[in-house]
Amino acid sequence: MDDIRMLPKYNVTATLQCAGNKRTAMSKVRKVRGVGWDVSALGNATWGGAKLSDVLELVGIHKLSSVTSLGGKHVEFVSVDRCKEEKGGPYKASIPLKQATDPDADVLLAYEMNGETINRDHGYPLRVVVPGVIGARSVKWLDSINIIKEECQGFFMQKDYKMFPPTVDWDNINWSTRRPQMDFPVQSAICTLEDVDVIKEGKARIAGYAVSGGGRGIERVDISVDGGKTWVEAHRCQKSNVPYVSDGAQSDKWAWVLFEATLDIPPNAEIVAKAVDSAANIQPEKVEDIWNLRGILNTSWHRIKIQNTSNACLKCFKNVSALSMNHKFLGITAGCSMENYRG
């Protein structure tokens, strides 16, 4: 730890997102295995620590290397944490060496979170932060780092977190036919309304988050109040008093982008959000088209069906009006400042 702390310290604002975010919606199509996450299986923080590329240079692995003199092509992270899936062995994961040695990839060995010593729940005393990829690769409670020829053979690299087509089930699955999932596709979610909400007639504020993997920015967020027949572009923001520009020099390329629109809500509205990233990747319309047995990477359009008071009794409205926002950790109600968005 002393050697790591002596290296230059970098602060990287990044969103870590579980591959199972929005799994609940996928489970409504067909049964999946995994924790029933809604839209909150992610968080945004400013991580502080040494760049992995600097640490590897201490042991003779130069920056921007894709293979070592001994044939190493991957960097494996091994946790203190033990798990039943590894038959009591440690949790582990790996990333390609070319990513680990690239300073612009911002892979950190983090010992701080939001300016404070990282706490136990988030990986004290040291965790890997791999921005732009699924959270399963950002190993907590780091014990050791290995340079290996092949990607990590751990359970969560080889027999989990892989993307299969809807035709694959637990009877015909062949894990070896797919590579471990890394980058997260473009994603968005509405956080100010839920299916159970009954709102007053008139205008309503629709706000939430959008994020994409691989350091890609958010080029656009579209909102519809009629199930996708017509669309309005939402306002995007990330930092207070700084206009957000997708892939702009002042934008945090690894962090979520917040969106907002105030629109007239028709009776029994179906509100939809979809995002487009800087590479023109767009969220798929239907969850059925991307269903998979593990329930990962549900990046389909986020849909919210609500009623207004003209179609609901006053008693029902009073019962749900206090539900204005269950996801306050996002800081949506606090204006556009990243200070408020560090879950």
CA angle 104, 106, 110 (to 5 degrees): 160
pTM value? Answer: 0.90
Question: Tell me: the pLDDT tens digits for 249-261?
Answer: 999 999 999 999 9
CATH at 263:
2.60.40.650
> Do residues 37 and 151 share a domain?
yes
> Do residues 32 and 141 share a domain?
yes
CATH at 97:
3.90.420.10
Domain assignment present for 209: yes
Domain assignment present for 331: no
Average of per-residue pLDDT across 294-308: 94
Domain assignment present for 282: yes
Average of per-residue pLDDT across 73-82: 98
Question: Tell me: the pLDDT tens digits for 205-239?
Answer: 999 999 999 999 999 999 999 999 999 999 999 99
Query: Which range has the worst mean pLDDT, 83-87, 144-148, 195-199?
Result: 195-199
* Residue carrying the six token digits 């590894």: 86
Domain assignment present for 91: yes
Taking the alpha carbons at both ends of the chain, their separation in whole angstroms is 26
Q: How far is 188 from 207, CA to CA, in rounded Å? A: 10
- Tokens encoding 43: 């968080």
> Do residues 219 and 145 share a domain?
no
Question: In the predicted model, is pLDDT for residue 335 greater than 80?
Answer: no
Output the pLDDT for position 196: 81
Q: How far is 169 from 240, CA to CA, in rounded Å? A: 46
> Do residues 6 and 109 share a domain?
yes
> Do residues 216 and 99 share a domain?
no
The CA–CA distances, whole Å, from 136 to 140, 144, 157, 183, 272 equal 9, 17, 9, 11, 28
Q: Quick one: pLDDT band at residue 201, thresholds 50, 70, 90?
A: confident
Q: Which of 139, 159, 179 is the last residue of a domain?
A: 159
> Do residues 27 and 96 share a domain?
yes
Q: Quick one: pLDDT band at residue 195, thresholds 50, 70, 90?
A: confident
Question: In 3D, which of 260, 262, 244, 261 has the Cα closest to residue 252?
Answer: 244
Domain assignment present for 322: no
> Do residues 155 and 218 share a domain?
no
> Do residues 219 and 114 share a domain?
no
Output the pLDDT for position 153: 98
Q: Which residue has the higher pLDDT, 125 or 315?
A: 125
Domain assignment present for 232: yes
Domain assignment present for 169: no
Cis status of the peptide bond prior to 125, with omega within 30 of 0: yes
Output the pLDDT for position 333: 27
Q: How far is 1 from 7, CA to CA, in rounded Å? A: 10
Output the pLDDT for position 330: 38
> Do residues 150 and 3 share a domain?
yes
- Tokens encoding 277: 């990233």
> Do residues 150 and 87 share a domain?
yes
Domain assignment present for 101: yes
> Do residues 154 and 192 share a domain?
no
Q: How far is 295 from 316, CA to CA, in rounded Å? A: 33
Q: Is 260 exposed, middle or buried (0-12, 13-18, 19+ CB in 10 A)?
A: middle
Question: In 3D, which of 218, 221, 217 has the Cα closest to residue 259?
Answer: 221
9 in Cβ contact with 179 (< 8 Å) = no
Question: In 3D, which of 159, 32, 46 has the Cα closest to residue 92?
Answer: 159
185 in Cβ contact with 212 (< 8 Å) = yes
Q: Which residue has the higher pLDDT, 321 or 280?
A: 280
Q: Which of 112, 140, 159 is the last residue of a domain?
A: 159
Q: How far is 137 from 242, CA to CA, in rounded Å? A: 31
Question: In the predicted model, is pLDDT for residue 329 greater than 60?
Answer: no
Q: What total number of domains does the chain contain?
A: 2
Output the pLDDT for position 130: 98
336 in Cβ contact with 258 (< 8 Å) = yes
**Residue 275 amino acid letter:** A
Q: How many C-beta neighbours within 10 Å does residue 30 have?
A: 13
Q: Is 263 exposed, middle or buried (0-12, 13-18, 19+ CB in 10 A)?
A: middle
Name the residue range of residue 135's domain. Answer: 1-159
Average of per-residue pLDDT across 33-41: 96
Q: Quick one: pLDDT band at residue 310, thresholds 50, 70, 90?
A: low
> Do residues 7 and 129 share a domain?
yes
